[in-house]
Structure 1
Amino acid sequence: MLFRELVAPRTWLGAAHLLLDIAFGFATCLAIGCWLLASAVLFPLALIGVPVWVGAAHLSEVLGRMERLRYRWLLGEEIAGEPLPSRSGRLLPYAGTLLRDPGVRRRIAHQLLAFPIGLVTSSLVYWVITLGVVLLLMPLLGLMLPTSDGAILGLDISGAGARLAMAPIGAAMLLAVPWVVRGLVAADVAAARALLGPVPGSLTARVGELERSRARVVDSAESERRRIERDLHDGTQQQLVSLAMTLGRARSRYRTEPTGIGPLLDDAHQQAKDAVTDLREMIRGLAPPVLADRGLDAALSAVAARCPVPVDLTVELEHRPPAVVEAIGYFVVAEALTNVAKHAQASRAAVGVRSGEGSVWITVSDDGRGGADPAGGSGLRGLADRVSGVDGQLSVDSPVGGPTVLTVEIPA
């Protein structure tokens, strides 16, 4: 396992990225620093200093784009950029807009900090790898490179025992390289996302989140479609074929032995009942007719009644929400109560639905064992994906030992 991590491509791509940090950091820090210094010195001369500042902001945007390409090529990390404000009107107001823009300031801060950060990351990776290789090969180096004072890189290699003792230390350092690289890459990517990525709450960040939500919803819908196709083909279709064959045998026997078709009819009847049961199970993820006919209150009452755990249901809606909101609310409650019945070991659950502040709020709680983690189960992740597809929010509060409270806000 350790050796596999050491030779994994992602380890050495990450190491290459970190070793390049110092070169890219020096180049970007020098370029942006010179432009900023020139704009500050020439700022009293507005006709010169203002265009220099605007040029520095545009140069920073180009360098940020190059940095994001490096993260994509070497690490596979997609970092969306915050675009420059569009220019409208004269140069001086535009320069002020650039100066006030948080995306410009954060990007320039990253480029000024890139050199000291790169100095740390590149040095750590370089010395861990170099010392690991040198110590591992120390027995061989001591024979091939004899020195007058018996030392290499300040290490005493005059004795064969000392040289042999250094080899395990070098091996341990090399085996630690993947974890060092992984930690430094994680910190580097976090800094890049914070300073090179979209400003939280900006239109770019919002669009990026909506694109990711749409992709998750499309994937979820495609998975559901494949499930229905597979269940129809492998289950219901085969049952109906078997039912047709049984009825065909009954019809053939009826012509010659009318009184002997009873067992065949009983078998066909059971097959028909099984097919109906499987169809109901297959379409469990589809919205029931009662939801469209009578609304969320009646549909959730049916869900609560079927739940093995006693459920206290409260629905307080001023107006009937849109159909898509009702459908998502129904699926959220149905899946949440299924999770309660399967995993929570709860004696009671409560569901509350209310409207307010332009949203529908859904709360599902239970007195079970707790410990629910959205990152650790596909059920809660699927709910989060479904809710985020309509710009909603899902949060889970589930300490170990309980209780668990799931809260969903769906814009209405």
Structure 2
Amino acid sequence: MTARTLTTAPGGGAAGTDRPPPPRFAFDAFTWKEIAHLLLNLPASLVGFVYVVTVLSTGAFLTVTLIGLPLLALGLLGARQLGKAERARARRLLGLRIEEPSPLPHRGQDFLARLWAQLKDTVAWRTALYELIRFPWGVLTFSLTLVSFFVLWPVLPFLARAMTNVDRLLVRGLLSPSDELERRIAELESDRGVVVDTAAADLRRIERDLHDGAQARLVNLAMGLGLAKEKLLEDPDSAARMVDEAHGEVKLALQELRDLARGIHPAVLTDRGLDAALSSVASRCTVPVQVTASLPARPAAAIEGIAYFTVSELLQNISKHSGASAATVDVWRARDRLLIQVTDNGRGGASLDAGTGMAGLAERLGAVDGLFVIDSPPGGPTTVTAELPWRDRVEGPDSRHTGRRPEPQPG
């Protein structure tokens, strides 16, 4: 079983799915659909033309008043709906597969930002242009189709094909999404939400760990030292024992803080890079892990961090769920991509919906234009491949001195 999460935008339709069959003298079902489309061109184009001329021109005329721009924005939203109806008609009657454009970004925007986004909506303006161009064409195609029923019946299938091909060109040129840029905007809007949600969840986890761990231990430490201070003169032996206990609490609190810091961003990753950091996390895995990292240089810090936490999560899953006796981690660069492959000889059966955090990893990688692939047949082995965009590391002014002062160890 293979689970894939690909951060790619949908295309305008599969190859060959919107190519009509060759016209024939016989009137087949597809030809009748084309004829129906041509006969509907007049009422549809009339509605669209009247709407565009009336609503948009009125809104543009009233821009000198307070209601002009909002009215124009509402008119453009209506134009979007006209475009949606025309794409649906083209899909049903012409067999033309056109993806819907991405919605306008409204998340977290105030009224003026939403208004400006609607006013500069290229999808709506192209739809308005389509309605203006199509009105005379709709009148022409309706008239020719109607006359051909009585005069040019034998060649009507060929005439219908020629006229609907012009309609297809108009729909593709003016009603389709604006290619890769439009699709990437939709992807980035979705990915931004994933990043924000993930960051919020991480902050809540850190707050919970501090509250339940080191913070509670330090509160107990402060109370113990306060009691020891009170007993220092009247019962020195008890005070000494309490100080010893406080000393132990300090050690535990420091260890908890180190573990928490490692979960945020480990020092070894900052100081020595991905190879050393992955070797460190592999040494804590309950399964023997062989790490191979072949990197000519260090990637950007953000990419390096995502790679580290991806491997860390996968090794935790191997420890908890795989039943494996050995695992491998391979990291290398292929052109402009950073590739990670984690393999184990466990029982297999891993998937994105198995409740092992795989879906969260796929979302994190997808948020940075990455790829996440699971190949885990029942019985194993399991191979997880992660792919990240390679971005060169930007060295700061202190990058030549990456070492850190050793942390003091409590005696």
TM-score range with shorter-chain normalisation? 0.5 to 0.7
Matches within 5 A, 1:2-401: 33-36=38-41, 62-65=81-84, 80=102, 83=123, 99-100=168-169, 202-377=180-355, 379-401=357-379
Unaligned runs of 5+ in 1: 1-28, 40-50, 69-77, 108-197
C-alpha displacement of 1:297: 0.9
Paired amino acid for 1:245? M
Pick closer, same or farther for the CA change 1:294–1:281 going to 2, 3 Å.
closer
Unaligned runs of 5+ in 2: 1-33, 54-75, 88-99, 104-121, 138-164, 391-411
Paired amino acid for 1:349? A
Paired amino acid for 1:325? I
String of CA shifts for 1:86-136, please: whole Å, max 9, x gaps: 579xx79xx9998447856998xxxxxxxxxxxxxxxxxxxxxxxxxxxxx
Paired amino acid for 1:203? L
Pick closer, same or farther for the CA change 1:97–1:272 going to 2, 3 Å.
farther
Pick closer, same or farther for the CA change 1:369–1:103 going to 2, 3 Å.
farther
Query: How many pairs were matched up?
Result: 269
Residue of structure 1 in register with 2:385 after alignment: 407
Is the CA contact (8 Å cut-off) linking 1:370 and 1:404 kept in structure 2? Answer: yes
Structure 1 distance, partners of 2:189, 2:217, is 41
Q: Could you tell me the percent identity over the aligned residues?
A: 43
Pick closer, same or farther for the CA change 1:102–1:217 going to 2, 3 Å.
farther
Is the CA contact (8 Å cut-off) linking 2:123 and 2:175 kept in structure 1? Answer: no
Instruction: Find the residue that maps to 2:293 and give its secondary structure.
Output: strand
Is the CA contact (8 Å cut-off) linking 2:79 and 2:124 kept in structure 1? Answer: no
Residue of structure 2 in register with 1:141 after alignment: none
C-alpha displacement of 1:332: 0.6
Is the CA contact (8 Å cut-off) linking 2:101 and 2:123 kept in structure 1? Answer: no
Structure 2 distance, partners of 1:384, 1:97, is 43
Structure 1 distance, partners of 2:79, 2:38, is 10
Is the CA contact (8 Å cut-off) linking 1:375 and 1:381 kept in structure 2? Answer: yes
Structure 1 distance, partners of 2:169, 2:294, is 45
C-alpha displacement of 1:349: 0.5
TM-score (norm: length of structure 1): 0.56
C-alpha displacement of 1:206: 2.3
C-alpha displacement of 1:257: 2.2
Is the CA contact (8 Å cut-off) linking 2:292 and 2:331 kept in structure 1? Answer: yes
Paired amino acid for 2:213? G
Is the CA contact (8 Å cut-off) linking 2:288 and 2:326 kept in structure 1? Answer: yes
String of CA shifts for 1:287-313, please: whole Å, max 9, x gaps: 111111111111111111111111111
Is the CA contact (8 Å cut-off) linking 1:347 and 1:367 kept in structure 2? Answer: yes
Bigger relative contact order, structure 1 or 2 (CA pairs below 8 A, ≥6 apart): 2
Pick closer, same or farther for the CA change 1:309–1:202 going to 2, 3 Å.
same
Pick closer, same or farther for the CA change 1:299–1:85 going to 2, 3 Å.
farther
Paired amino acid for 1:213? D
Give the structure with the larger helix fraction: 1
The alignment yields a C-alpha RMSD, in angstroms, of: 4.1
The runs of at least 4 consecutive aligned structure 1 residues that moved more than 4 Å come to 29-33, 35-39, 58-61, 84-88, 95-107
Structure 2 distance, partners of 1:101, 1:33, is 14
Pick closer, same or farther for the CA change 1:83–1:305 going to 2, 3 Å.
same
C-alpha displacement of 1:36: 4.5
Is the CA contact (8 Å cut-off) linking 2:324 and 2:347 kept in structure 1? Answer: yes
Pick closer, same or farther for the CA change 1:278–1:30 going to 2, 3 Å.
farther
Is the CA contact (8 Å cut-off) linking 2:317 and 2:356 kept in structure 1? Answer: no
String of CA shifts for 1:11-57, please: whole Å, max 9, x gaps: xxxxxxxxxxxxxxxxxx99955354899xxxxxxxxxxx9xxx9xx
Is the CA contact (8 Å cut-off) linking 2:289 and 2:329 kept in structure 1? Answer: yes
